[in-house]
Amino acid sequence: MKLSKEQATKFQKLGIHTFCELALCIPSSYEDYRLQEKIIPHQNQLIDATVESLFRGPNSIQITFFAHNFGHNVTGVLFRPKPYMMHQYSVGSRDYYFGMIECKMGSCSMSMPKKITTIGAITPKYKCRLRSDVMLRFVQKNLTVDVLMQEGLSEKIAEELLTFHFPNEEIKDLKALPEKSLYALKYTELFLYMKQLSEKRRYFEPIKSLKKTYTAWFSTLPFTLTKEQINAIDDIKSDFAKEVAAKRMVVGDVGSGKTMVILAAAFMMAKHRSVLMAPTTILANQLFEEAEKFLPNLHVILVTNKTKKIDLSGYDFIIGTHALLYRELPQVALVMVDEQHRFGTQQRNMLEKLVSEGKKKPHYLQFSATPIPRTQAMIETAHIDVSLITSTPFTKDITSSVIHKDDFKELLTHMKREIAKQNQVLIVYPLVEQSEAIAYQSIDEARGYWEKNFENVFVTHGKDKDKEQVLLDFREKGSLLIATTVVEVGISLPRLTTVVIVGAERLGLSTLHQLRGRVSRTGLKGYCYLYTNQEKLQRLEAFVKTTSGFDIANLDLKFRKSGDLLKGVNQSGSQFQWVDLAEDASVVEEVKANLE
C-alpha cells in the first residue's frame, strides 16, 4: 500500500513501517469523557459545571463549581497555575471539566481540573514519539479493519485490535487484558515478526541439484541411526533434490549424533564436492577422523593453519577450520558449518561466497549443539529450514546436584574414587585471575591446591594459546582438568565422568547443559556438581531435574526471555512485548500456518 506524505512522515517519527505496527502502538491509558450522575471517589470524572467563585492564592487557584450532573458543589484546586489557566475560568461560565474527584467529610474536591471540549466518549491517551492528541487524530483517520486486512490480518484479529483505539468501555488495566484481546496482540506481533523474517529469506539456484539415496551407506554402518537422525537426513535429501539451494539448520542436543548427519550429507553429495568448517582444530580433526572411518570411498582432507597450501580440487570432502576462508577453494556444491554459533555471520557468509558461482549458490547446512525451544524453531522456519534432533543414540546416566561449601569434603572423596577408576574430572572456574567483584576463587588462586593434592593436573583457559594441545594431552594422560568454559564445546573426552562448575548461578542454563554434556560420552556413569555460595536457587534446582537440552532451552526462556532472532542481538531480554515464547507455541503454530 502506497503511503501519503503525511503517513510516511508520521511512520518515520514512530519508527514503524506498517498499519499493523500502528495498531500495536496501543494507548497507555484512557480518559472517560462521559457524564455520570454519581460521584466515584478516587477516579477521574467529567463534570458539567458552572463557575460560582474564584480565589487566587500565592501558588494556587481555588474554584467553586456547581456540578449540574451531581447536583452539588465541587471545589477545584489548581496548583502553581500557568498564566493561560487564569483565563479558562470566569465566574458565571458553564463548561465541562475533567479531573480526579476526592470526597472528605461531605465535601468534594477536584485537583487540577482541565477544560474539555469533546465529550461523550472514552478518549485514548498515547505515550509515543507523537504528541498524544496528534497520535489520536492520526489513528482515527487511518486505522480501519480494511487497512489491517489488506496487510494480511484476519477480520476477527483486526476488529479486536481496533477496540484498543476505539473503545466502548474504559480499559482500566493493560496488564490484565481479556484473553481474546491479548491473543490479538500476540498474534499480530508474531505475524509481523515472522513476515519480516520470511522477507529476509533469499532463494538461489543451486550449483548442483541431485536425487540420491543414502541406503547403501546406511547399511555399512556398525550401528543404527535414531529416528530423528534419519528424519534430518531425509530433510536434507529432499533439499538436495529441489531447484533451490538448501538453507537448513540442524539443531541437536549434545551427543545426539549430528556428526552422522554431516557424513550422510557429504555421502549424498559425493562426486560434487562438499566443504565443512568447524570452530576448532580439535573438532575439525575429530570430524576428519570420523569421515575417514565412515566414508572410506571419499577422498577427504583436513585443512588447518598448519596445512600446506595445496590444490584442493582433487578431494571430495574438505574439512577445516576458519583457515578455509584464506585458501583458494575449488567449486563446491555443499557448504556445512558445525557449531555455527561459534562463527560470526560474516565468517559464515564469507565461506558461502568463496564457493558460489555467479548467481548460483551451494546448498548450505548449519549445525548447532545449542538446543533451541521448539517455539523458536518454528519461528526460525520463516527464515531458514530447521531440523531438530531431540533424542540421543543412547541414554546418558548423569546425576546432577547443587552443592555448597559444606559438601566439599564429600566432593573430594568422590573425585578420588573416580580417578582411582582411571576416570577423569573437570573443574570449571568462572575466572582465570582473581577479582574482587566475584566471590569465588579464580584458576590462579585454586590451581596450587589441586596440584598439591592430585597428580596429573592440567590447566587451560580461553587466553591460553596452547589450549587445544593441553586438552589433547589431558585426554591421553590427565586425571584432573582445571579450566574456564573453554571446554564447553568441542573435544571428546571419553574417560571424563565428573564435572564441577564453580559459581554455577553465574552461567546460563544452556551453558551449564553444554558443560554437563562433556561427561558420560561413552556410556559411563556421569556426575555434574553445581557449586554455589547461594542458598536455594530455583533456576539451578530446576536444571538438575532436567536432562533434555530442549527442555533446558525452554527453562532458559522462562528465566531469561528469548533474545532477538531477527537482528541477532539482545541475547537475554525479549524482543516481544506481548509474546512469551515459553508459553505461546499454539499462537506461533497458527501464525506459521497462516503465513504458508
Q: Please tell me the total count of domains within the chain.
A: 4
* 402 SS3 class: strand
pLDDT of res. 565 = 44
Pair (457, 313) in one structural domain: no
Same domain, 93 and 156: no
Q: Output the nine-digit C-alpha cell for 562.
A: 528469548
Question: Do 100 and 163 sit in the same domain of this protein?
Answer: no
Banded model confidence at residue 342, pLDDT cuts 50, 70, 90: low
Residue 1 has pLDDT above 80, yes or no: no
Q: Tell me how far CA of residue 64 lies from CA of 36, 46, 456, in angstroms.
A: 19, 15, 90
Name the DSSP class of 579: -
**Could you tell me if 243 and 259 lie in one domain?**
yes
525-575 pLDDT, tens per residue? Answer: 999 999 999 888 888 999 999 888 888 888 877 776 544 444 443 333 346
pLDDT at 377 over 80: no
C-alpha radius of gyration, the chain, whole number: 33
- Asked if residue 262 and residue 136 are part of one domain, the reply reads no
42 or 530: which leads in pLDDT: 530
The lowest-confidence range among 94-103, 365-374, 503-512 is: 365-374
Q: Verify that 136 and 108 share a domain, yes or no.
A: no
Residue type for position 90 = S
Q: Domain end: 343, 359, 389, which one?
A: 389
Q: Give the Cβ contact number of residue 513 at 10 Å.
A: 29
pLDDT higher than 80, residue 523: no
Q: What pLDDT score was predicted for residue 489?
A: 55
Strands (E), 117-230: 122-125
Q: Which residue has the higher pLDDT, 395 or 34?
A: 34
As beta bridge partners, residue 444 has none
User: What is the pLDDT, as a whole number, of residue 575?
Assistant: 66
The 3-state DSSP class for residue 562 equals: coil
Give the model's pLDDT for residue 52.
95
**Does 246 score more than 90 pLDDT?**
yes
Q: Which residue has the higher pLDDT, 72 or 256?
A: 72
With contact defined as beta carbons under 8 Å apart, do 230 and 250 qualify? Answer: no
What integer pLDDT is reported at residue 560 of this predicted model? 63
- Both 321 and 239 in a single domain? yes
Higher-confidence residue: 236 or 564?
Answer: 236
pLDDT score for 573: 39
**Average pLDDT across the chain, whole number:** 88
- Quote the domain boundaries for residue 163: 5-31+121-176
Task: Tell me whether residue 187 is in a domain.
Answer: no
Same domain, 247 and 368: yes
- Mean pLDDT of the 251-275 span: 91
Mean per-residue pLDDT, 198-226: 88
Whether 167 and 277 map to the same domain: the answer is no
Residues 6+ apart with CB under 8 A from 267: 214, 217, 295, 298
Residue 434 lies in a domain: yes
Q: Quick one: 89 and 26 in the same domain?
A: no
- State pLDDT tens for residues 289-325: 999 999 999 999 999 988 888 889 999 999 999 899 8
Range 180-199 average pLDDT: 92
- What are 536-547's pLDDT values in tens digits? 888 899 999 988
Q: How far apart are CA 510 and CA 368, in angstroms?
A: 12
Residue with cell 553465574: 506
Do 171 and 222 belong together in one domain?
no
Q: What is the pLDDT of residue 472?
A: 87
Structure confidence at residue 40 as a pLDDT band (50, 70, 90): confident
Which range has the worst mean pLDDT, 224-228, 378-382, 426-430?
378-382
Same domain for 108 and 149: no
* pLDDT for residue 562: 43
